[in-house]
A and B are shown apart, each in its own frame.
Chain A
Amino acid sequence: MKKLIILIIICAGIQQGLSQSPVYPWNTEWDAVEDNAYIKDTQNQLLPYTGTWVYTNGNKKVTIKLQRIMYYYTSGKKHFMDKIAGRYKVENGSTVVFSDWDLNFASANLSGVRIYENKLYGSYFDAGNCRILSDVKIWLDPNNPNKMYMESELQGKMPFVQDEDECPQWRNPGFGENPTIPRSIVLYKQ
């Protein structure tokens, strides 16, 4: 029992250390907080989206792993926030078409940063297509928390690479029209 109390005290101490930043609820705007503030998912709104989700269509299989990233450090005004970050693997039969599965989540190209009317809004930089950018909308089936819908819409076809010459194919007709993750999919939790 004593050990348990000591452990709780230690954990509380660690948490206290992490929480020295002023904490704001998750819907707080970034520019409404001071430097070093922490915009926290205080109501655990993000947790239902986390986990490993799979979409299949014939031979095509998309596996997406969504995690809640805590204390994500933002550039600009320098503060921290919680967000959803995703890594994914796309397979065609036994061939892996794309995978960033093993990379760290902090710099993930799939993210969710806002919830409005039970839908998670975020963005998708398609690393398999020169990081072209799409808006993403994710929502859970109200009758089945293990079923998730994901839709994306392309913002534009400019490659988000530091030098567009790294991606000469962006000028080709049809570039960007076949995203690595299909535009509208239904996924099931594993």
Chain B
Amino acid sequence: MLKKLAQKAFPRSLWLYHCNSGACNGCDIEILNVLTPFYDVERFGIKLVASPRHADVMLISGAVTRPTLPLVKKAFEAMPSPKLVFAIGSCATGGGCWFDTYNVTGGADKVVPVNYYIPGCPPRPEAIIYGVALALGLVDKKVAPVEMKQMEFPVDMYKMNKAWEDRNVIYKLLD
């Protein structure tokens, strides 16, 4: 019974731990902006804590560089479950401009399992609040995959390239 109460109380008081894994600090400044009076996020009960052991949500900003890779893993394991991970900014969602350079592992989802991505460079504070509200279930998603065609092509060609629908055909046809 206490477990059910605790589960109902979980979305109303999320504690954030901010982990900067090699970011340029743009996304960090936007995260701190979200805690200012103008875009106040504390009205949802969200607080910033300094220790991963107290936190529920880890905000990762920055492409995970090689020196910070074991530290991000350690911080993730130090969080008590149930936990969530939000990847803030383009560097954390996919590695940004540096996704294949020598010092960068790529996005945060190569290191820890990520629940929500908030792209942007840096994401506006409203975008971060929108991501938080999406996680809490207050708003609906506004993005979806978009496909546009210039004209209708014959149907049998689509049947031949059926795997294209999975977007893997781009890897298969060049052989």
A binds B: no
